[in-house]
Structure 1
Amino acid sequence: MYDFGIRHALSGYRVAYRPEQQNYCPGCGGSHWVVGRLTAECAFCATALPLVAGGASGNGLIRQAGVALAA
């Protein structure tokens, strides 16, 4: 979702939740998170951060190809 690598030199560091690293809340310093599809929320103060790779993990909606919905 977010591609910070291309524009990193121009935009600088952006606060975001990175699943492969230890993440500390910029609001309270806590390290417990409730991770959703697009954001991670601090369990202590409810500060929300965007995910670096949001929406790319977990079980998604599975649809069969060629099945039309009745109107």
Structure 2
Amino acid sequence: MSEQGNAVLLLDGWAGRSRIPVEVVGETPKRYRVKLLADARLPGGRQFQAGAVVLVPKHAIARTEGEK
């Protein structure tokens, strides 16, 4: 998944799993640098607005169906 493109950020919560649309813009050895396409509250109380660029673990990202 080294190429850039659209994906979803999967977050597990007490109310189930939520899917937040993101765009992959970069990569480190253990994390992806993503641009959020919607407002999100990430673990640890981190709140971000759409357009923010954040680092997330690689296991939390899944490609969207149209990207394969």
Greater C-alpha Rg: 1
Which protein is richer in strand relative to its size?
2
TM-score when normalising by structure 1:
0.28
TM-score when normalising by structure 2:
0.29
